[in-house]
Structure 1
Amino acid sequence: MSPSRTVKPSPPEVLFKTGSKVFELERILRRRGHGEQHFLAVRRQPGREPVPVFLQALSLRRGEAFLSREPRARLQETLALSRLLEHPRIARLYGGHEVDDMLYLEWEHVPGYTLDDVAMLPLVYVHSYSEAFLVHVGLQLASLLAFLHGKTDARGMPLGFVHRDLHPQGLRFGPEGALMLTDLGDVFSRLPGRAPSSITRPHGEVYYGAPEVLFGEGADARSDLFSLGLILLELATSLHLYSLPRALMGDLEARLTDADAKRVFQGMMVAAQAGQGSGEYADVVMHAATYRPEDLESLMFRLSPGLRAILHRLLRRERTERYATAEDLEVDLRAHAARLGGHYGGAEAAAEFQRALAATAPVLSAFQMDVGAFPPGSVLHLPTPAA
């Protein structure tokens, strides 16, 4: 009988080294346009405990980085923003590391699940989160936006912060039921010396952009509130306003007025200049220009009238018809929470999510193989078994 052999685990992949620090790859989270990548990594230093970190990698190669802010200027601006926006529910930016042709922004790693994972669970088995859970999430997001939008300088003058990229992948649902913002990469501000984008371009994840952003008309605080509304709608219904069931492009085009068509054309021109004029972008812009209140109502028919009214106001196409401020939204959400009755906070939200996770576990493997819904960056992703 031959002696048993001990199989040594593969050594960790080293992303880069700088000084005494070594950054080992834990998981590739996602890749975005123009050379941007996101990683979960471990920072190791002699004599110190390993620290999990989130890395945002920006390409310094010409031709990939030129469409957005110059990466080094973006790092300096984001560092300044992170110092101004210190908050227990906003991830900290530790600094940056330039290695070869890449610039790595090193962020605090926030434990928990992305809000994208939270929203995907109901698809695995027939399940809906309670309205108390939805209101809790809405209040958490409204509170974060109120903090961001309300920041002033030392003289008390508004700094005009607009997030411009609020989406479920950039939000973490923690073990205590609190939401944390994990990315400030596209925040607009009136900071002195701010490095502007090299050309006008749409910002953020296309599927969570407000119509005016997709049309190339710029963003303000009400644009962030629209993105919040899209997140809540998806969490509540597992459906998306920019992917209407059975909506054919021909049907949408028939709805276009001349004014709408001009806005769609303008949005496509701006997107094309920024290298984003894909067929997918065209579909989203068309939906943004043509959806109607009755379309929104058809997605929300299972929700209570009170929550439907809040979502309708968040998701008006014209920004002047939306909530003016995040504080206004908080007032209505708190009133709806009172109508629901009973105390519901972080502990209750965490427990509800854990129940959903436990109910999902028995069918998660089969669902992943059949549908492939959870991408490799998700903590819920199950690798395809080797043949």
Structure 2
Amino acid sequence: MTASAWMTRSPHGMSPSRTVNPPPPEVLFKTGSKAFELTQVLRRSSHGEQQLIALRRQPGQEPVPVFLQALSLTGRTVSRLRDPRARMQEMVTLARILQHPRIARLNGCHEAAGVLYLEWEHVPGYTLDDVSLLPLVYVHAYSEAFLLHVGLQLASLLAFLHGQADERGLPLGFVHRDLHPQGIRFGPDGQLALTHLGDAFSRLPGRVPSSITRPHGQAFYGAPEVLFGEAADARSDLFSLGLILLELATSLHLYSLPRVLMGDLDARLTDEDGQRVLQGMMVAEQAGRFTSEYIHIVTHAAAYRPEDIESLMFRLSPALRAILHRLLKRDRAERYATAEEVEADLRARATELGGQYGGAEAAEEFQKALAGTAPLMNAFQTDVGAFPRGSVLYLPTPAF
């Protein structure tokens, strides 16, 4: 794939361009005068939910891109989880409560041909996953100020979510449970937004709990307790935030440690660790999520050590390393207790750096990184020595 092809964007992200005749649009469903045409399949979540981008068409109006969560009302998934209609109704209620300018609005709920669809506002911009791709080529492109800006935006959103109460003033106990880069948008103004409310937990009155214990969200960004099949809380979301920032800062991931073999990880496990891994596997099997990748992830979650995190962060400042270490504690009791505490430490570090850095500066920095990536793409693909000496990914360029 050439650099120019890689840089050609669809309206929904950085996708390669292909000179082929597009197939006719697939109409997912119709309701009244509205027709929803599929434009992009994003991902399937842990409970069988499909996430899609579609165009909503109405006579006499311009087509509007929307984000859809689709959940089948029939089949094996439904029998193993709680009633999909109850879950969707809870999401509708939560969306009414959790009104925020940087959380996508819920447009409506539709049912068609045995499938429930939640229709969300489509947030413009790149996914944070797209943003994280650039340092793989344009090595360590983002300044610490950029990283702090992203962290502050996400910590602020989590503080808002975690702090919500119902109409009686009782805490909702909201936990997102599915915070990951594909569900976060980096807008043209440099501000971040959530595209939906995740695999949400709350203490809404009348909530119907799941019929089985199961892991939630995207496993690669899950906190250890979630992967082990234990209950999630606000600190689980903060762990996910730590993983996202670590990846954005280093292009590396705690659950994919460089040059660490699974046998080496297994040797680190205590008997108690092994029991938690086994429990996580059993819970994943019961929920229909058991894969070789899940085994790999849950073993990393039980076996990583503080020195592993340190080795991934050797280029970062001591202050930022300290924040990430605390976010990524395996024992949640040792993590930050609230998103507000994370926000305070990030803001204190931003103040130490001096100067004004906000959305406009972040957008400008991203655009420069984007422009700088194109001429480097082909070299990155052919030269495995693209990473500098001292990087955990450094390999000598092979002789041909």
TM-score, normalisation: structure 1: 0.90
Structure 2 match to 1:97: 110
1:59 maps to 2:76: no
| Compared CA separation, residues 206 and 9, structure 1 to 2 (3 A) | closer
Partner of 1:385: none
**Residue 184 (structure 1) aligns with:** 197
Aligned residue number for residue 307 of structure 1:
320
Query: Of the candidates 157, 177, 184, which is equivalent to residue 164 of structure 1?
Result: 177
Residues 63, 366 of structure 1: alpha-carbon distance in 2 compared, 3 angstrom cutoff: farther
Matches of 2:278 and 2:339 in 1, distance apart? Answer: 31
- Give SS of 2:364's match: helix
Question: What corresponds to 1:331 in structure 2?
Answer: 344
Deviation at 1:365? 7.2
Deviation at 1:13, TM superposition (A): 2.8
The answer to whether residue 353 in structure 2 is matched with residue 348 in structure 1 is no
Q: Structure 1 stretches of 5 or more lacking a match?
A: 1-7, 372-387
Report the equivalent of 2:90: 77
Aligned to 2:233: 220
Note if contact 1:38-1:57 (Cα within 8 Å) is conserved in structure 2: yes
In the alignment, which residue of structure 1 is the partner of 2:37? 24
1:251 to 2:282 alignment = no
SS at match of 1:56: strand
Task: Give the distance between the partners of 1:273 and 1:369, measured in 2 at CA.
Answer: 43
8 Å CA contact 1:66–1:198 kept in 2: the answer is no
Displacement of 1:26 in angstroms is: 2.2
Match of 1:141 in 2: 154
Q: Which residue, out of 221, 226, 230, partners 1:208? A: 221
Q: Are 2:106 and 2:121, in contact at CA under 8 Å, matched by a contact in 1?
A: yes
Amino acid at match of 1:90: I
Shift in Å at residue 45 of structure 1? 1.4
Give CA-to-partner distance per residue, 1:81-125, whole Å, 9 cap, x none: 100100000011111211112222111000001111111111133
Deviations 1:36-66 (A, max 9, x none): 3222111111233322111122122221333
Q: Partners in 2 of 1:119 and 1:70 — Cα distance?
A: 36
1:277 Cα deviation from its structure 2 partner:
1.7
Aligned pair in 2 of structure 1 residues 97, 172: CA closer, same or farther (>3 Å)? same
Q: Would you say 1:129 and 2:142 are equivalent positions?
A: yes
What per-residue deviation string (whole Å, max 9, x for no partner) do you get for residues 241-271 of structure 1? 0111111111111111111111111111111
The match for 2:50 is 37
Amino acid at match of 2:102: R
8 Å contact from structure 1 (residues 41, 54) kept in 2: yes
Amino acid at match of 1:81: L
Alpha-carbon distance between aligned partners in 2 of 1:249 and 1:74, rounded to the nearest angstrom: 37
**Residue 118 of structure 1 aligns with which residue?**
131
The percentage of counterpart residues that share the same residue type is 76
1:375 alignment counterpart: none
Q: Rate the CA distance shift 1:277–1:141 in 2: closer, same or farther, 3 A.
A: same
Q: Which residue of 2 aligns with 1:358?
A: 371
Contact 1:58 1:65 in 2 (8 A): no
Deviation at 1:368, TM superposition (A): 8.2
Match of 2:14 in 1: none
Identify the residue that residue 5 of structure 1 maps to in structure 2: none
Q: Which segment drifts farther, 294-303 or 19-28? A: 19-28
AA partner of residue 254 (structure 1): A
Aligned to 2:99: 86
Q: Which amino acid aligns with 1:174?
A: G
Alpha-carbon distance in structure 2 between the residues aligned to 1:68 and 1:368: 43
Distance in 2 (alpha carbons) for counterparts of 1:249 and 1:212 = 20
Once residues 45 and 165 of structure 2 are traced to their aligned partners in structure 1, the CA distance between those partners, rounded to angstroms, is 31
Structure 1 counterpart of 2:120, from 77, 83, 107? 107
Which stretch of structure 1 is more off in the superposition, 356-365 or 342-351?
356-365
1:270 aligns with 2:283: yes
Deviations 1:276-315 (A, max 9, x none): 1211111111111111110100000000000000000000
TM-score (norm 2): 0.87
Displacement after TM superposition at 1:364 (Å): 4.6
Could you tell me which residue of structure 2 aligns to residue 374 of structure 1?
none
